Amino acid sequence: MAADPEATLPPPTPNSVPEAPAPPKPAPQPKKQPVATTPPKPATPAPAEPTEPPIRLTQMYTAEERREYNKSIEDSLEKVRRDLTILAKKNLNPEQQNQINTISTFQKQAEQAREAQDLTTAVSLAKRAEVLAADLLGRFP
């Protein structure tokens, strides 16, 4: 004979969940005494002291690298100047004129970067100007 299955079950639990006790009431806070304050004085700017320009980190180039970068920049900018001279004689629509402005901006930024000894950026900007100018010039017969 098998044992009665109900005899091995745990006793039944009530269907309702007991209620949690209410949280304790916060302790009364003591009343704060008003503090007499004076209005803040307007901040006076400190006298301007001459400051040194921030230190600028730049890449170090060997003499050979400097020559190569400068030659690349000069070659690209020369091609840009030549192409812009030819394009100035063309009848340009507004979109093409906008491209001329973009090319000129890259050209100026390349020259400024070279003056600041940021030769890597100068090469990149000069090459962008060169490619855009050659592309625009290639659209004309």
Please, what are the domains in the chain?
63-138 (1.20.1270)
Q: What is the pLDDT of residue 53?
A: 73
Write the pLDDT tens digit of every residue in 11-52.
Answer: 655 555 556 666 667 666 666 665 556 666 666 666 666 677
Under the banding of pLDDT at 50, 70 and 90, the label for residue 55 is confident
Output 140 or 134, whichever has higher pLDDT. 134
Q: What is the pLDDT of residue 72?
A: 97
Q: For the chain, give the percent of residues with pLDDT over 70.
A: 63
Q: What is the pLDDT of residue 52?
A: 79
Q: Residue 37 is encoded by which pair of tokens?
A: 């304050």
Indicate the average pLDDT of the chain. 82
Q: What is the pLDDT of residue 33?
A: 63
**Whether pLDDT at 64 is above 70:** yes
Q: What is the pLDDT of residue 137?
A: 94
Query: What is the rounded average pLDDT of the residues 70-83?
Result: 97
CB 128 within 8 A of CB 106: yes
